[in-house]
């Protein structure tokens, strides 16, 4: 015999959601400490991830979702949500950024580049490749790529 789904009213769901906002962050932190083996499981799921992403791309889900959002809606969300969290995220990532950037800063520090001349286009043709090649070599070295 078929069953009928009975959902709670929208205002009850909204009330429960808003009440959870006070509880979830602390619960999240506690539960994170209990996690073991996340990296191994993530790596093991690579094939599934790739299959799912290929399906998303094939169905143009991102494009369709983007088409539903107006410029004003996007800006409003970016201002209201993004501005609140960007500073915290930068603070949390400062040590990681410094560690990951340092090898590239070290490569650029003291890198010999051609002298600048009066022609900015010619400067770009002679200086930019030297800088880019040095950075690409360092990136390949970090990643263990030999080609």
Structure tokens at 118: 């009066």
Which pTM value belongs to this model? 0.53
Which residue from 110, 107, 109, 99 is spatially nearest to 138, judged by alpha carbons? 107
Residue 7's pLDDT is 85
Answer whether 103's CB lies under 8 Å from 138's CB: yes
Residue 119's pLDDT is 96
| 3-class DSSP string for the chain | CCCCCCCCCHHHHHHHHHHHHHHHHHHHHHHHHHCCCHHHHHHHCHHHHHHHHHHHHHCCHHHHHHHCCCHHHHHHHHHHHHHHHHHHHHHHHHHHHHHHHHHHHHHHCCCCCCCCCCCHHHHHHHHHHHHHHHHHHHHHHHHCCCC
Residue 66's pLDDT is 95
What tens digit of pLDDT does each residue of 30-76 get? 999 999 999 999 999 999 999 999 999 999 999 999 999 999 999 99
């Amino acid at each position: 015999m078929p069953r009928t789904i009975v959902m709670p009213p929208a205002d009850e769901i909204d009330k429960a959601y808003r009440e959870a906002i006070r509880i979830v962050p602390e619960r999240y932190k506690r539960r994170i400490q209990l996690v073991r083996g996340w990296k191994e499981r993530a790596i093991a799921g690579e094939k599934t991830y790739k299959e799912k992403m290929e399906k998303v791309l094939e169905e143009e889900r991102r494009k369709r979702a983007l088409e539903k959002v107006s410029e004003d809606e996007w800006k409003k969300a970016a201002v209201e949500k993004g501005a609140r969290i960007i500073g915290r995220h930068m603070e949390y990532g400062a040590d990681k950024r410094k560690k990951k950037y340092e090898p590239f800063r070290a490569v650029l520090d003291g890198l010999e580049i051609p002298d600048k001349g009066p022609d900015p286009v010619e400067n770009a043709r002679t200086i930019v490749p030297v800088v880019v090649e040095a950075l690409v070599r360092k990136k390949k070295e970090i990643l263990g790529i030999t080609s």
